[in-house]
Amino acid sequence: MKKLLVIFFFFVACKGNYHPKDVGALSILEYPDNKELNKWIEIDSQYAKVYQVRRYFENFVKKDFFEEEENKIEFAKLTWSDMSEYQKDYAELLNKYQKNYKDSKELTRFVDSLIMIDYPVINDFVNKIFKLEY
């Protein structure tokens, strides 16, 4: 009986750390509803930063950028979760190499060159957002 109780508590404890597959699985071109976003943020606070960046992007594009069929085709598979992982990795690289650079612009350029190898779709997405034509 004690073993069963220990297994039960172990299962409950592990279940609390479980991250469902659908967390952050929505395309970055779309917004989750508030309830869903709050659930994601409870699981991983990084989604609050992804939300801020997603809102920030809107300042640099024409109104229908996120609805344009060409962009939907090109970036539909880029998810909130991808952006979250990208942001975490970027911050980690900044911290790792910060001591090697006195100039923050040089540090940023170096980290950009490293991170874009692992995240080419995000690189394309960001470059398209910051094109001057928008």
Q: pLDDT tens digits for 19-48?
A: 566 899 999 999 999 999 999 999 999 999
Write the DSSP assignment of 4-26 as a string of letters: HHHHHHHHHHHHHT---TTTT-S
Q: Which sequence spans correspond to the domains of the chain? A: 22-129
Percent with pLDDT over 70 in the chain: 82
CA 31 to chain centre: 13
pTM of the predicted structure, to 2 decimals: 0.79
